[in-house]
A and B are shown apart, each in its own frame.
Chain A
Amino acid sequence: AQSVAQPEDQVNVAEGNPLTVKCTYSVSGNPYLFWYVQYPNRGLQFLLKYITGDNLVKGSYGFEAEFNKSQTSFHLKKPSALVSDSALYFCAVRDPKSGAGSYQLTFGKGTKLSVIP
């Protein structure tokens, strides 16, 4: 079965500093990986995805993520954090071998990012 781990419940970073939100995954084949962000009282917004190709994926709002197959990780990064980046971040995986016709996502428990002015 596929799974996602986000080892940090909360990450605090000063505005202007680089940020990293960690994610590791477990799937039986090559993974499809996603990052979503959830602002208070809002739904999940898609940030970026890794399907295949370049290990460094660039997404919305200046975020990027690096796929590392040997470490089974897909950490989310941003060179310079903004206060407006404060939100809940979810990593998700889709196992390409499971459930053809479905493609449901398995989510991590989320990491709360707080950017301090």
Chain B
Amino acid sequence: EPEVTQTPSHQVTQMGQEVILRCVPISNHLYFYWYRQILGQKVEFLVSFYNNEISEKSEIFDDQFSVERPDGSNFTLKIRSTKLEDSAMYFCASREGLGPSYEQYFGPGTRLTVT
């Protein structure tokens, strides 16, 4: 069964450094998402992406964040200057179509630790 993959599984970085989290969505999916989950808290929406542009973003997704689909397979989340509060599990998700019958498929997540 096809699945969403994410790399790395765990990333440790120092405050102020840039990080790039990578995702490979399911190949025929058209809609892509990033969510994050701070330890012990709920999963929060960050951004959605369709047709090579952001379709919606949350308040969390400020100027420090950016997303890109550099080729036909990868979908990346970049944090330009990490802060301690960026420490969280980051989940990528993809969706085949827009209609309500299409659920989102999530990757296993990247645990980001900012020290």
Contacts and interface: CB of A to CB of B under 8 A. Distances in A.
A31 to B, nearest CB: 10
Interface stretch (B63-71, B79-87, B100-108): B100-108
A113 B106 CA distance: 20
Interface residues of A, number: 28
The SS class assigned to the B binding surface is strand
Main secondary structure of the interface of A (DSSP, over half): loop
Given A43-B4, A103-B31, A103-B104, 13 more contacts: A42-B108, A44-B91, A46-B103, A51-B100, A92-B43, A101-B48, A101-B50, A102-B48, A103-B95, A103-B102, A104-B58, A107-B44, A108-B42
The 7 residue pairs across chains A and B that have the minimum distance between CB atoms: A102-B56, A44-B106, A43-B108, A107-B43, A109-B42, A101-B55, A102-B48
18 contacts: A34-B103, A43-B107, A51-B100, A51-B101, A96-B100, A99-B48, A99-B55, A100-B98, A102-B50, A102-B55, A103-B31, A103-B98, A103-B100, A103-B102, A105-B43, A106-B45, A107-B35, A107-B42
Interface of B: 4, 6, 31, 33, 35, 41-45, 48, 50, 55-56, 58, 91, 93, 95, 98, 100-109
